[in-house]
A and B are shown apart, each in its own frame.
Chain A
Amino acid sequence: MKFIHAADLHLDSPFLGLTTLPAALLTRVRQSTFTAATKIFDRAIAEHVDFVLLAGDLFDRAEQSVAAQAYLFNQFERLRQAGIPVFVSFGNHDYATDQHQTIAYPDNVQVFGADVTTKTLTLASGETVAVSGFSYPQRWVVTDPLPAFPEHAAADWHVGLLHGAVATGGTHDHYAPFTVAEMLTKRYDYWALGHIHQRQLLHQNPPILYAGNPQGRSSQETGERGAYLVTSHGRQLVPEFFPTADLLWDTATVPLTVTTLADLGTALTEWLTAHPADQSTLTQLTGKLTHPFTPEDQAAWRTTDWLSLYQRTHRSTLATAQRYLTRLTLRLPQATVAAPALDQRYWDQGAAQTFTPATVQTLFGKLAQEPALADWLATEGTPEKLRALATEQLQDLMNQEAPDVP
Chain B
Amino acid sequence: MYLKTLTLFGFGQFHDRTFNLERGLNVLVGPNEAGKSTLTQFITAILFGFPTKKHPELRYEPLDGSRFGGAITFVQDATQYQVTRVDGPRGGTVTLRNLTLDLELPASQLAKLLAPVDAQLFQNVYALNEMRLGQVFQASKQDLTTHLQHVGAVGSDDWLVQAKRLDQRAEEAYKPQGRKPLLNDLLRQHQDLQAKLDKANTAYQTYWQLLQDQATAKHRQAALREQLATHRQTVTHWTQLQQQWPTFQRWQALGTAQQQPTTGFTQADATELERLQNQLTASQATAKTNQSRLKDLQAHAQLPALFQQYLKVSEQVDPLFDQVPAVTAQAQERTRLMATVQELTQRSTAIEQQVANANGQMPRPFSLATTQELKQQQADLQLANQKRRRLQQELNRLNDQYQQAQPTRQQRNPLADKQLGWLAAGLLVLVGAMFLPGTLFKLVGAALGIAVGYYGVFIVDGETPASRELQGLTADIRDVQAQLREGGQRIDALTNRIDAIGEAHGLDHLPHEQWFGAQAAIGEWERLTQQLQATHTQLTALQATLDQFQQAVTAVLPQLAGQSVTSQTTQLRQLQTTQQRLVAQNGELAGLTDRIQQDHTAVARAQQAVRTFLQTRNVADTAAFYQRYQQIQNQDNVTAQRQALATQLGTTLADLQALPDQATLDQHVTTAQQAQQTTQQQLDATTTQLATLSGQLEHLTASGTQTALRQRLANLETQMRTVTQGWLTDRLTSRWISATLVAASGDRLPRIVDQASEYYAQLTENRYTKLELTSETLRVQRADGTWLPVGQLSRGTAEQLDLAMKLAFAVVMQAQAAMPLVIDDGLVNFDARRRQAAYALLLTLSQHLQIILLTADPVAAQAAAGKYVVRLTTQEGD
Contacts of B158 in A (CB 8 A): 339-340, 402-403, 405
Cα separation A75 to B733 with both chains bound (whole Å): 52
User: Does the CB pair B108–A389 fall under 8 Å?
Assistant: no
Cα separation A162 to B111 with both chains bound (whole Å): 70
Contacts of A363 in B (CB 8 A): 728, 731-732, 735
Contact flags A351-382 to B (C-beta < 8 A → 1, else 0): 10111000110011111001011001100110
Is B742 close to A, CB under 8 A? yes
Contact flags A331-347 to B (C-beta < 8 A → 1, else 0): 00000000111110111
Contacts of A381 in B (CB 8 A): 724-725, 728
User: Does the CB pair A354–B739 fall under 8 Å?
Assistant: yes
User: Does the CB pair B204–A380 fall under 8 Å?
Assistant: no
Cα separation A359 to B115 with both chains bound (whole Å): 31
Contacts of A386 in B (CB 8 A): 728-729, 732
Is A13 close to B, CB under 8 A? yes
User: Does the CB pair A14–B736 fall under 8 Å?
Assistant: no
Partner-contacting stretch, out of A15-23, A121-129, A197-205, A315-323: A15-23
**What's the least CB distance linking B710 to chain A, in Å?**
5
Q: Per a CB cutoff under 8 Å, which of A66, A346, A350, A376 touches B700?
A: A66
Q: Give 28 pairs: A residue, B residue, CB < 8 Å, sorted on A.
A: A18-B715, A18-B718, A19-B719, A20-B715, A30-B711, A67-B701, A67-B706, A69-B204, A69-B211, A103-B215, A342-B159, A345-B743, A346-B740, A346-B744, A350-B743, A353-B739, A359-B732, A370-B187, A372-B190, A372-B717, A373-B720, A376-B725, A377-B724, A389-B725, A393-B729, A403-B165, A405-B157, A406-B108
Cα separation A354 to B268 with both chains bound (whole Å): 135
Q: Which residues of B contact A (CB under 8 A)?
A: 108, 111-112, 115, 153-159, 161-162, 165-166, 174, 176, 183, 187, 190, 201, 203-204, 207-208, 211-212, 215, 697, 700-701, 703-704, 706-708, 710-711, 713-715, 717-722, 724-725, 728-733, 735-744, 746
User: Does the CB pair B154–A341 fall under 8 Å?
Assistant: yes
Is A64 close to B, CB under 8 A? yes
User: Does the CB pair B707–A360 fall under 8 Å?
Assistant: no
**Given A14-B713, A349-B743: A65 touches B111 (CB 8 Å cut-off):** no
Contacts of A360 in B (CB 8 A): 728, 732
Contact flags A1-40 to B (C-beta < 8 A → 1, else 0): 0000000000011111111110000100110000000000
Residue of B nearest to A339 (CB): B159
Cα separation A350 to B193 with both chains bound (whole Å): 40
Q: Which residues of A contact B (CB under 8 A)?
A: 12-21, 26, 29-30, 63-67, 69-71, 73, 99-100, 102-103, 339-343, 345-347, 349-351, 353-355, 359-360, 363-367, 370, 372-373, 376-377, 380-381, 386-387, 389-390, 393-394, 397, 402-406
Contacts of B701 in A (CB 8 A): 66-67, 70-71
Contacts of A346 in B (CB 8 A): 740-741, 743-744
User: Does the CB pair A340–B208 fall under 8 Å?
Assistant: no
Contacts of B108 in A (CB 8 A): 404-406
User: Does the CB pair A364–B728 fall under 8 Å?
Assistant: yes
Contacts of B719 in A (CB 8 A): 19
User: Does the CB pair A373–B707 fall under 8 Å?
Assistant: no
Contacts of A67 in B (CB 8 A): 701, 704, 706-707
Residue of A nearest to B206 (CB): A66
The binding surface of chain B is classed by DSSP as helix
Contacts of A405 in B (CB 8 A): 108, 111-112, 115, 157-158, 161
Cα separation A370 to B706 with both chains bound (whole Å): 20
User: Does the CB pair A366–B736 fall under 8 Å?
Assistant: no
Residue of B nearest to A355 (CB): B732
User: Does the CB pair B738–A103 fall under 8 Å?
Assistant: no
User: Does the CB pair B700–A18 fall under 8 Å?
Assistant: no
Q: Per a CB cutoff under 8 Å, which of A29, A102, A373 touches B724?
A: A373
Contacts of B722 in A (CB 8 A): 19
User: Does the CB pair A66–B736 fall under 8 Å?
Assistant: no
Contacts of A16 in B (CB 8 A): 714, 717-718
Contacts of B111 in A (CB 8 A): 405-406
Contacts of A339 in B (CB 8 A): 155, 158-159, 740
State the 6 A-B residue pairs at the shortest beta-carbon distance, nearest first.
Answer: A350-B740, A350-B739, A14-B714, A64-B204, A349-B743, A70-B701
User: Does the CB pair A70–B697 fall under 8 Å?
Assistant: yes
**Given A370-B190, A405-B115: A342 touches B732 (CB 8 Å cut-off):** no
**What's the least CB distance linking B301 to chain A, in Å?**
117
Contacts of A406 in B (CB 8 A): 108, 111
**Given A64-B201, A66-B701: A350 touches B736 (CB 8 Å cut-off):** yes
User: Does the CB pair B211–A103 fall under 8 Å?
Assistant: yes
Q: Per a CB cutoff under 8 Å, which of B153, B161, B190, B697 touches A341?
A: B153
Contacts of A355 in B (CB 8 A): 732, 736
Contacts of B208 in A (CB 8 A): 69, 99-100, 103
Contacts of A26 in B (CB 8 A): 711
Cα separation A325 to B621 with both chains bound (whole Å): 123
**What's the least CB distance linking B742 to chain A, in Å?**
7
User: Does the CB pair B736–A15 fall under 8 Å?
Assistant: no
Residue of A nearest to B722 (CB): A19
Q: Per a CB cutoff under 8 Å, which of A15, A342, A350, A397 touches B714?
A: A15
